[in-house]
Amino acid sequence: MSGYVLAIDQGTTSTRAIVFDGKMKVAGVGQKEFTQHYPKPGWVEHDPEEIWSSVLVTVRKAIEAAGITAKDISALGITNQRETVVVWDRETGKPIHNAIVWQDRRTASYCEKLKRQNLEKLFTRRTGLLLDPYFSGTKLAWLLTNVKGARSLAAKGKLCFGTIDTFLIWRLTGGKSFVTDATNASRTLMYNIGANEWDEELLDILRVPAAMLPEVKDCADDFGVTDSSHFGAEIPILGVAGDQQAATIGQACFERGMMKSTYGTGCFALLNTGADMVRSKSRLLTTIAYRLNGETTYALEGSIFIAGAAVQWLRDGLKAIQRASDSGELAAKADPLQEVYLVPAFTGLGAPHWDPDARGAIFGLTRNTGPEEIVRAALEAVCYQSRDLLDAMHRDWRNGSGQDTVLRVDGGMVASDWTMQRLADLLDAPVDRPTILETTALGAAWLAGSRAGVWPDRAGFAKAWARDKRFEPGMDDKTRNAKLKGWKSAVSRTLSTRQG
């Protein structure tokens, strides 16, 4: 077999397909954005058919760009936006509704209802998650309740539920494989992460028939083969992981205490806690980092809903910048005497606040405030939120080695030296940027390539990880503490009445 491995990275705003060669280097890329649908305030949807079409287009582009054919590809890995829900007809394969995206907040009142019934502790104990609209379970319950005939069809076993990975695998295999992996299952509010199985009691509470749910596999496993009609030859699907777990793998965070943070549309930090299923006291999530050879590795996760999306807002909403890449340069020109804070609660606040009703706000504006200060505030907001997550993780779990945390970073925002330096300054911790920034796709590719036997094992892959640049903290304690105090004040004034 060749060393070529294909990765499908199905994200929130675009789909990417990347062909890696036998040396784990990028050989070909295809990318396509797709439509974001906002039917009501706080609602976010995708058209599953458009996502499927984007996968076909980008994979074909990537294979062509690599100068190979599908016959040269030894394995396929899939990574995906997590928590996004698709329900489709088991016979026709057609979705019954648009996909409900992880950012969607329509089930906030249902989550509150479940909390009033004192059910959050049960859900958290079984799944490691909180009762928040972010997760898949309440989205699925909404579809079954609100799509005409859905509950009846589901009861008869005629509907399939899946996160995006499951839907894509179903389509890629011509309906032969109805499967997911442990990381995606762990984000549904329906999966018992200790027992590693769907939880019947939680399914009963959410009124979800078990027959709708896919089989759960290890992250590196046999997920079926693609139908040859799609790309010209069958390709074994041998690796699957949700995007943040795939990035953790791609960053080679295989040891307890290692931590990565991905700065894409949102920001997601994962701390590897090994075999320990750490119960957070700081409203972080306990989740499955990966499951390999039947052994589960857990993580603490902090989720920030708005990171790169704030830069998109600066570009598309405020027209403050022409290109996202301009943000660091403009922020560097901001007046250091003006302390402007942007709390980007455009879709509520994630960890550690979990306030779906909070909304964005800017504090500290004066007559002298201009685009430079607002852009700086948007970039700093990502850094402040990362500090909140790091503090919460340290409260919940300390690295037994006593070593200070070194944060490995990836995602679109990390290309900005200014932002990464400010991140190191506000974290008061080193930040490592890898040479390969495609860590999410690389993680999915490694799962598949190692399973196929054409890529290194875990130790060999970790050894191959290489740092592009380390950012060391350079801000003095007085300045840092003053800025952090201002941030906490801004957040406290942004929380909803219910939270505050």
- Tokens linked to 437: 């920034």
Q: Under 8 Å CB-to-CB from 298, ≥6 apart: which residues?
A: 128, 193, 272, 273, 274, 275, 276, 277, 278, 286, 287, 288, 289
Contact call for residues 183 and 290 (beta carbons, < 8 A): yes
**Is 308 among the annotated ligand-binding positions?**
yes
Other C-beta atoms lying within 10 Å of the C-beta of residue 290 = 26
Phi-psi region of 232 (alpha: psi -120 to 50; beta: other; left: phi over 0): left
Query: Is 243 known as a binding-site position?
Result: yes
Confirm or deny that 14 is annotated as ligand binding.
yes
Quote the crossing angle between the two packed helices 477-492 and 417-427, to the nearest 10°: 90
Rounded to the nearest angstrom, the gap between the alpha carbon of residue 444 and the centroid of all alpha carbons in its chain is 13
For residue 302, give the H/E element and its range.
strand 295-304
Return d(Cα 65, Cα 263) in angstroms, integer.
27
CB-based contacts of 337: which residues, under 8 Å, 6+ apart?
A: none
CB atoms closer than 10 angstroms to residue 412: 17
Q: How far apart are CA 343 and CA 492, in angstroms?
A: 10
SS (H, E, C) 126-189: HHCCCCCCCCHHHHHHHHHHHCCCHHHHHHCCCEEEECHHHHHHHHHCCCCCCEEEHHHHCCCC
Is 348 annotated as belonging to a binding site?
no
Phi-psi region of 252 (alpha: psi -120 to 50; beta: other; left: phi over 0): left
Q: Which residue type, as a one-letter code, is found at position 127? A: T
Would the annotation count 248 as a binding residue?
Answer: no
Nearest to 394 by CA among 386, 405, 385, 383: 405
| 83 known ligand binder | yes
412 assigned ligand-binding residue? yes
C-alpha distances (whole Å) from 41 to each of 95, 106, 167, 308 are 23, 9, 26, 20
Separation of alpha carbons 386 and 492, rounded Å: 17
Alpha-carbon distances of 87 from 144, 161, 295, 392, rounded to whole Å = 9, 5, 30, 35
Annotated binding site for ATP: 12-14, 265, 308, 312, 412
Annotated binding site: 12-14, 16, 82-83, 134, 243-244, 265, 308, 312, 412
Annotated binding site for sn-glycerol 3-phosphate: 12, 82-83, 134, 243
Annotated binding site for ADP: 12, 16, 265, 308, 412
Annotated binding site for glycerol: 82-83, 134, 243-244
